[in-house]
A and B are shown apart, each in its own frame.
Chain A
Amino acid sequence: AQKITQTQPGMFVQEKEAVTLDCTYDTSDQSYGLFWYKQPSSGEMIFLIYQGSYDEQNATEGRYSLNFQKARKSANLVISASQLGDSAMYFCAMSAPQNSGGSNYKLTFGKGTLLTVNP
């Protein structure tokens, strides 16, 4: 079974500073994907960044980068130059087969981290 652990229920950061949101995962699958989604108070889950299990380089998307350490099974999100609009819930998720050896995947989410950006 797949499991995502986000150990930080809440984080605070000053505007314009960088922040790291932690994520560890557990899976026995060799092929999987790691995602970060942002959920503002409106409820919509907004895709931020993706890292494949076979990707050798860390993913980057604008101000977002994913610090992927496969041996440690961690996939931390780094947000540079925080903005007030970054205040939201952040979810780490893993895409892995729904069943062992299957070809249909599902997302398994962590419990999330509430990020608050202070002016």
Chain B
Amino acid sequence: DAGVTQSPTHLIKTRGQQVTLRCSPISGHKSVSWYQQVLGQGPQFIFQYYEKEERGRGNFPDRFSARQFPNYSSELNVNALLLGDSALYLCASSTQAKQGSGEKLFFGSGTQLSVL
């Protein structure tokens, strides 16, 4: 079975532009989460979606938005890019609506976004 797939793998944008990152979860997984990993840091939670509904949001500005489609794939959008948005964006999928304390996340390899 295919794991979590993300596209593109690398992306270069300039300040002020908009970007869309895509994620396909593992087959049968209905929950998708997005994390931002800045160089030298651990990943930080951005969003969680289940059945097309936002179930959680981290401490990120409104420039960040996401959505989930009926096939459970997801897109992360970032508007008005800043230099500080340069990071590895990781998508993770899991089976449960409620990401319980024991719910294991399966991560993709990420999209490396560089903002110049």
- Chain A residues packing against B (C-beta within 8 Å): 4, 31-33, 35, 37, 42-47, 50, 52-53, 91, 93, 95-96, 98, 103-112
Contact = CB atoms under 8 A, between A and B. Distances in A.
A110 B108 CA distance: 19
A33 B99 CA distance: 11
A59 to B, nearest CB: 11
A104 B48 contact: yes
B42 A105 contact: no
Nearest to A6: B42
Interface of B: 3, 33, 35, 40-45, 48, 55-56, 58, 88, 90, 92, 98-110, 112
A47 B109 contact: no
Contact of A44 (B42, B102, B110): B110
23 contacts: A33-B100, A33-B102, A33-B103, A35-B104, A43-B90, A45-B105, A46-B107, A47-B105, A95-B100, A95-B102, A98-B45, A104-B55, A104-B99, A105-B99, A105-B100, A106-B56, A106-B58, A106-B99, A108-B45, A109-B43, A110-B42, A111-B40, A111-B41
Contact of A43 (B101, B104, B112): B112
B42 A52 contact: no
A98 B56 contact: yes
Contact of A45 (B55, B92, B99, B100): B92
B45 A44 contact: no
Given A33-B102, A52-B101, A111-B42, A104 B56 contact: yes
Given A91-B42, A112-B42, A45 B90 contact: yes
A95 B40 contact: no
Contacts of A45: 43, 90, 92, 105, 107
A114 B55 CA distance: 32
Given A43-B112, A44-B107, A107 B45 contact: yes
A107 B105 contact: yes
A96 B35 CA distance: 15
